[in-house]
């Protein structure tokens, strides 16, 4: 379906922060959102509003904290890196300030819903969630992703939505990858907007695809003349095991050393990482059982660096492992096993007495 007009866009994100006290606007630990904003607003000429969480909200999915009061502040990015100041009240832009953004003390899905229904009701054509600092490929990541959760929230309000993530491959990611990633991301978004797909059997909005999940790996080929290959994909159905460890101060140093392999988790090494996935077969240590105190300490090696031979061809995980960008159409719904259309409802009635 062609949509030639310029869209009015909400840009929301889930900043990945090292410093938990940082509130999420552009900075060295949230390096991508300001660059993409500039490409959408300046290069494409789109009308972009930015509504983002005020703190780190990774692995939160499409959650809403229903007992919280959601407070917000205004943020004014400036300069080349988007660093700026916050204000409790909206005010005119000062010299050098680029725009007025909004920070909300809520989840990514909360930001999307409030933006659509309270801040800019009826004025938004497209929600872009991201760019996330890290990949959101495969079911294990996608089902936990706050980035996809925000896009899902928008699609459930019958608004077009795109989740965008930049997959970390090299540590640290060279800063010269950022600009070509933004250019590619903006081109993919523009193409999807102009050629939005159909889902006649399941689309919530006039038979359209509900949302797209886009992953761009931060790899050397971003700098090549040919750029990255872009592939339509489906979701790699995978799983994870242990996400937490028993929390004991005296064991913290030992556990940290054991959890960190020679190659940092996002870095392709010798393929051995695929053999260890923190699975459910791990034996609990006696000291873990009696003390009910646990901390987040996931073993992600089998998810981030799987062997290529184990990945279904055409899946998002396979594309990222190849160094390609992946674009996955998604329905805003839990998947169901395939079944034939209902002809006679009596065939669906249980005949078993319980």
pLDDT tens digit sequence for 302-324 = 888 888 999 999 999 999 999 99
> In percent, how much of the chain has pLDDT > 90?
64
Is pLDDT at 271 greater than 50 in this prediction?
Answer: no
Is pLDDT at 273 greater than 80 in this prediction?
Answer: no
d(CA 189, CA 173): 23
Q: Which pLDDT does position 21 carry in this prediction? A: 22
Mean pLDDT of 28-39: 84
| Confidence class for position 288, pLDDT limits 50, 70, 90 | low
Mean pLDDT of 16-30: 43
SS3 of the chain: the string is CCCCCCCEEEEECCCCCCCCCCCCCCECCECCHHHHHHHHHHHCCCEEEEEEECCCCCCCCCCCCCCCCCCEEEEEEECCCCCEEEECCCCCCCCCECCCEEEECCCHHHHHHHHHHHHCCCCCCEEEEEEEECCCCCHHHHCCCHHHHHHHHHHCCCCEEEEEEEECCCCCCCHHHHHHHHHHHHHHHHHHHHCCCECCCCCCCCCECCEEEEEEECCHHHHCCCCCCEEECECCCCCCCCCEEECCHHHHHHHHHHHCCCCCCCCCCCCHHHHCCCCCCCCCCHHHHCCCCEEECCCCHHHHCCCHHHCCCCEHHHHHHHCCEEEEEECCCCCCCCCCCCCCHHHHCCCCCC
d(CA 53, CA 326): 26
> In percent, how much of the chain has pLDDT > 70?
82
Is pLDDT at 258 greater than 80 in this prediction?
Answer: no
Q: Which pLDDT does position 28 carry in this prediction? A: 60
Q: Which pLDDT does position 266 carry in this prediction? A: 36
- Order across the sheet with 325-330: list the strands: 84-87, 72-77, 101-104, 47-53, 8-12, 126-133, 160-167, 211-217, 325-330, 230-232
How do 244-246 and 84-87 pair as beta strands? unpaired
Q: Which pLDDT does position 270 carry in this prediction? A: 33
Question: What would the pLDDT profile of 174-193 be if each residue is shown by its tens digit?
Answer: 999 999 999 999 999 999 99
- Sequence-separated contacts (24+) of 88-92 with Cβ below 8 Å: none
Q: Which pLDDT does position 340 carry in this prediction? A: 76
Question: What would the pLDDT profile of 210-257 be if each residue is shown by its tens digit?
Answer: 999 999 999 999 999 999 999 999 999 999 989 999 887 545 545 554
Domains and CATH numbers, the chain: 8-237+314-330 (3.40.1210.10)
d(CA 258, CA 260): 6
Q: Which pLDDT does position 265 carry in this prediction? A: 32
Question: What would the pLDDT profile of 68-83 be if each residue is shown by its tens digit?
Answer: 999 999 999 998 889 8
The distance between the two most distant Cα atoms of the chain, rounded to a whole number of Å, is 75
- What sign results for the dihedral spanned by CA atoms 55, 174, 236, 314? positive
d(CA 48, CA 41): 6
Q: Which pLDDT does position 4 carry in this prediction? A: 60
Query: Omega before 131 cis (within 30°)?
Result: yes
Question: What would the pLDDT profile of 146-168 be if each residue is shown by its tens digit?
Answer: 999 999 999 999 999 999 999 99
Mean pLDDT of 262-274: 35
Measured from the Cβ of residue 171, the count of other Cβ atoms closer than 10 Å reads: 10
Q: Which pLDDT does position 283 carry in this prediction? A: 57
């Amino acid at each position: 379906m062609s949509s030639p007009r310029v869209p009015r866009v909400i840009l929301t994100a889930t900043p990945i922060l090292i410093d938990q006290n940082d509130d999420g606007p552009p900075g060295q630990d949230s390096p991508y959102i300001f660059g993409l904003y500039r490409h959408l607003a300046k290069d494409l000429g789109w009308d972009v509003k930015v509504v983002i969480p005020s703190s780190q909200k990774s692995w939160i999915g499409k959650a809403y904290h229903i007992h919280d009061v959601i407070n917000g502040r205004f943020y004014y990015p400036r300069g080349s890196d988007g660093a700026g100041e916050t204000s409790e009240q909206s005010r005119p832009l000062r010299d050098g300030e680029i725009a007025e953004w909004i920070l909300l003390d809520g989840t990514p899905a909360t930001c999307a819903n409030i933006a659509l229904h309270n801040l800019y009701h009826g004025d938004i054509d497209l929600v872009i969630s991201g760019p996330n600092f890290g990949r959101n490929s495969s079911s294990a990541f996608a089902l936990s992703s706050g980035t996809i959760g925000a896009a899902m929230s928008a699609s459930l309000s019958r608004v077009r939505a795109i989740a965008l993530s930049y997959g970390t491959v090299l540590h640290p990611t060279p800063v010269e990858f950022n600009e070509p990633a933004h250019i590619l991301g903006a081109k993919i978004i523009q193409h999807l907007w102009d050629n939005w797909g159909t889902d006649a059997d399941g689309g919530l909005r006039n038979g359209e695809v509900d949302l797209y999940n886009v992953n761009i790996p931060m790899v050397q080929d971003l700098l090549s003349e040919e750029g990255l290959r872009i592939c339509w994909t489906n979701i790699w159905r995978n799983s994870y095991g242990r996400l937490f460890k028993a929390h004991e101060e005296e064991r913290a140093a030992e556990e940290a050393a054991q959890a960190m392999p020679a190659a940092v988790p996002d870095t392709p090494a010798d393929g051995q990482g695929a053999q260890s996935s923190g699975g459910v077969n791990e034996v609990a240590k006696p000291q873990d059982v009696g003390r009910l105190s646990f901390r987040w300490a996931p073993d992600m090696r089998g998810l981030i660096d799987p062997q290529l031979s184990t990945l279904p061809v055409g899946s998002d995980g396979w594309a990222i492992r190849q160094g390609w960008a992946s674009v996955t159409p998604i329905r805003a719904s839990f998947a169901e096993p395939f079944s034939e259309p209902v002809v006679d409802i009596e065939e669906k009635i249980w005949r078993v007495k319980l």
